[in-house]
C-alpha cells in the first residue's frame, strides 16, 4: 500500500507542470523584502524590451521635411518589425557594419562617415542620396573633408546613452541567470525578454559607430566643395513612390529593392545599405548570412530554456515548445541548405541546373516564412497569457546576498 501511495504521488508530481492548478500564490514570500510583485515583473520586462527595440534600433535617414507624427510612425513601424523578427534587424545591422568597414578601408574615411553613407546620410546638391557604391568615389573628397563632430552632432545618442541601454539589458540578463542558479521559477515573459536582450547585444555592437535617429542629411557636392550642414535645406527631387510593405519585406529578407533608384529618390528605404555591387568581396554576404542564422537560432534557443516549465494548459505548453523549436531550427536549416547550395552550385556551374540549388533555397525560405511568423506571434502572445497562473516561487526575488555578502 505504501508503494502504491508513493507511485501515485510521484505520478502527480511528474505531471504537475500540466495538470496542477496554479494561482498567483506567494506562499514562498514569507519576508516581504524578499518578494516581487506581478507589476514589477511586467514593468521590468517591458522596460527591457523598450531598450532593446526603441533605443537600440538606429534607423536610416528618413525623407526630408517629415512631421513629428510621421517620424513617430516610422519609428514605431521599425520597433514593431524588431519585435516580430529581430534577427532581420540584426541582419541589417551586420550588413551596414561590414559595408561600412569595407568602405572605410577602401576609401580611407572614418567609420562614422562610412556608416553615414550606408544609412543615406549624404545627399547630392539636387537632394538624391549617395547610395550607390559606383557613384561614391566622386564624392569621397567632399565626404572626407566633413568633420566627424558634424556627423556626431546630428546623432541623438552618445556613448553614455548607448552604454546605459546596454547596462539595462545586461542587468536583466544577470537577474535571469541568478534565478536559474538559485532554482527560482523564471516566467515565460522573462525568457522572451531575455531573448530580446541577447539580440540587442548584437544590434548595439554592430551599430555602435552608427549615428542614432538622424533626421536631416548632409548635402555634399562632387570634388572638394561641401555645402553647410546646419540649417541647409535639401532641394526638392523627383521622388518616386515610397517603398510598400511588400518592398520593405523583400528588402529585409533578400536585401534587394528592385524598384528603388537613388537617383530619383530623396531618401533610402528602411532596410537599405549602400550597394557594393561587384566591387565588394562576396565574403561580406557570407558573413552577414552567418550572423543572421546564428542569431536567429540563438533567439529561438533562449525560449527553449523553459521547456519543462509549468504551463496553464497542455495546449500552451506544446505551442511554446513547437514554436521555440521551429524558431531555433529554421535558421540552422536554411544555413545548411545555403552551404549545400554553394557546394552543388560549384559542381553544377557549367550545367543547365546551376541555379537549381538557390531556387530550392529561395522556395524553402519563403515556404517556411509564414510558419516562422506564426511561431513568432505565438511566442509574443503566450508570455502574456501565462501570467494568469504563475507558479509558486515566481514572486520570490533573487537572494543577492549569496553573491554579494552583507548586502
Residue 294 sits at φ, ψ, to 5 deg, of -65, -45
Task: Kindly state whether residues 148 and 256 are assigned to the same domain.
Answer: yes
* All cell numbers assigned to 153: 552632432
The predicted structure's pLDDT at residue 191: 94
Contact 293, 334 (CB under 8 A): yes
Task: Please report whether residue 37 resides in a domain.
Answer: yes
In this prediction, the residues of the chain whose per-residue pLDDT falls under 70 are 1-33, 157-159, 222-256, 258, 276-284, 341-358, 361, 406-407
Task: Please report whether residue 179 resides in a domain.
Answer: yes
The predicted structure's pLDDT at residue 136: 83
In sequence order, the β-bridge partners of residue 83 are: none
Task: Kindly state whether residues 67 and 171 are assigned to the same domain.
Answer: yes
Residue 35 sits at φ, ψ, to 5 deg, of -125, 160
The predicted structure's pLDDT at residue 313: 92
Task: Please report whether residue 404 resides in a domain.
Answer: no
Contact 60, 243 (CB under 8 A): no
Contact 236, 127 (CB under 8 A): yes
**pTM for this entry:** 0.76
Give residue 261's region: left, alpha or beta (phi > 0; psi -120 to 50). beta
* All cell numbers assigned to 157: 545618442
Task: Kindly state whether residues 257 and 113 are assigned to the same domain.
Answer: yes
Contact 155, 212 (CB under 8 A): yes
The predicted structure's pLDDT at residue 190: 94
The helix (run of H) or strand (run of E) holding residue 122 is strand 122-123
Task: Kindly state whether residues 101 and 249 are assigned to the same domain.
Answer: yes
Summarize pLDDT for 254-270 with one digit per residue, the tens.
Answer: 666 767 777 778 888 88
**Residue 197 is part of which domain span?**
33-279
Task: Please report whether residue 403 resides in a domain.
Answer: no
Summarize pLDDT for 298-342 with one digit per residue, the tens.
Answer: 999 999 999 988 899 999 999 999 999 999 998 888 777 777 766
Task: Kindly state whether residues 225 and 343 are assigned to the same domain.
Answer: no
Number of domains, the chain: 2
Determine the Cα angle at 210 with ends 287 and 69, to 5°. 115
Task: Kindly state whether residues 257 and 162 are assigned to the same domain.
Answer: yes
Looking up cell 566633413 gives 146
Task: Kindly state whether residues 190 and 332 are assigned to the same domain.
Answer: no
Final residue of a structural domain among 232, 261, 279: 279
Task: Kindly state whether residues 313 and 266 are assigned to the same domain.
Answer: no
Task: Kindly state whether residues 317 and 271 are assigned to the same domain.
Answer: no
- 397: CB partners within 8 A, 6+ apart: 34, 35, 36
Task: Please report whether residue 38 resides in a domain.
Answer: yes
CA–CA distance, 262 with 133 (Å, rounded to integer): 11
Task: Please report whether residue 155 resides in a domain.
Answer: yes
CA–CA distance, 61 with 54 (Å, rounded to integer): 16
Task: Kindly state whether residues 159 and 268 are assigned to the same domain.
Answer: yes
The predicted structure's pLDDT at residue 32: 63
Task: Kindly state whether residues 111 and 243 are assigned to the same domain.
Answer: yes
The predicted structure's pLDDT at residue 6: 43
Contact 274, 133 (CB under 8 A): yes
Query: Of 364, 370, 300, whose CA–CA distance to 334 is shortest?
Result: 364
Question: b/e map of 342-357 (b: 16 or more CB within 10 Å)?
Answer: eebbeeeeeeeeeeeb
Task: Kindly state whether residues 264 and 168 are assigned to the same domain.
Answer: yes
The predicted structure's pLDDT at residue 202: 84
Query: Of 95, 50, 78, 324, whose CA–CA distance to 197 is shortest?
Result: 50
Amino acid at each position: 500500500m505504501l508503494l502504491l501511495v508513493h507511485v501515485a504521488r510521484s505520478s502527480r508530481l511528474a505531471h504537475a507542470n500540466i495538470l496542477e492548478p496554479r494561482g498567483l500564490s506567494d506562499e514562498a514570500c514569507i519576508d516581504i523584502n524578499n518578494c516581487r510583485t506581478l507589476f514589477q515583473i511586467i514593468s521590468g520586462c517591458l522596460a527591457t524590451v523598450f531598450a532593446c527595440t526603441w533605443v537600440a534600433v538606429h534607423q536610416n535617414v528618413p525623407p526630408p521635411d517629415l512631421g513629428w507624427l510621421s517620424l513617430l510612425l516610422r519609428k514605431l513601424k521599425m520597433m514593431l518589425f524588431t519585435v516580430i523578427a529581430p534577427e532581420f534587424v540584426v541582419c541589417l545591422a551586420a550588413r551596414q557594419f561590414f559595408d561600412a568597414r569595407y568602405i572605410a578601408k577602401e576609401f580611407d574615411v572614418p567609420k562614422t562617415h562610412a556608416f553615414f553613407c550606408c544609412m543615406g546620410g549624404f545627399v547630392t546638391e539636387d537632394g538624391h542620396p549617395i547610395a550607390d557604391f559606383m557613384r561614391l568615389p566622386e564624392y569621397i573628397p567632399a565626404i572626407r573633408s566633413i568633420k566627424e563632430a558634424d556627423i556626431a552632432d546630428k546623432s541623438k545618442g552618445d556613448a553614455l546613452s548607448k552604454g546605459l541601454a546596454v547596462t539595462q539589458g545586461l542587468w536583466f540578463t544577470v537577474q535571469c541567470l541568478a534565478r536559474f542558479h538559485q532554482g527560482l521559477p523564471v516566467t515565460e515573459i522573462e525568457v522572451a525578454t531575455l531573448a530580446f536582450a541577447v539580440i540587442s547585444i548584437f544590434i548595439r555592437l554592430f551599430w555602435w559607430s552608427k549615428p542614432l535617429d538622424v533626421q536631416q542629411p548632409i548635402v555634399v557636392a562632387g570634388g572638394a566643395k561641401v555645402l553647410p550642414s546646419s540649417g541647409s535645406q535639401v532641394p526638392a527631387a523627383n521622388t518616386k513612390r515610397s517603398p510598400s510593405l511588400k518592398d520593405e519585406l523583400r528588402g529585409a529578407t533578400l536585401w534587394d529593392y528592385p524598384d528603388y533608384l537613388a537617383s530619383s529618390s530623396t531618401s533610402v528605404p528602411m532596410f537599405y545599405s549602400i550597394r557594393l555591387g561587384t566591387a565588394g568581396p562576396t565574403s561580406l554576404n557570407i558573413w552577414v548570412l552567418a550572423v543572421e542564422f546564428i542569431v536567429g537560432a540563438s533567439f529561438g534557443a533562449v525560449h527553449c530554456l523553459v521547456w519543462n516549465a509549468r504551463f496553464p494548459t497542455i495546449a500552451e505548453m506544446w505551442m511554446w515548445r513547437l514554436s521555440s523549436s521551429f524558431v531555433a531550427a529554421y535558421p540552422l536549416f536554411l544555413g545548411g541548405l545555403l552551404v549545400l547550395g554553394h557546394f552543388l552550385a560549384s559542381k553544377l556551374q557549367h550545367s543547365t541546373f546551376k541555379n537549381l540549388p538557390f531556387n530550392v533555397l529561395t522556395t524553402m525560405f519563403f515556404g517556411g516564412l509564414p510558419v516562422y511568423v506564426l511561431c513568432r506571434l505565438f511566442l509574443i502572445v503566450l508570455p502574456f497569457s501565462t501570467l494568469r497562473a504563475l507558479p509558486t516561487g515566481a514572486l520570490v526575488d533573487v537572494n543577492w546576498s549569496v553573491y554579494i555578502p552583507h548586502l
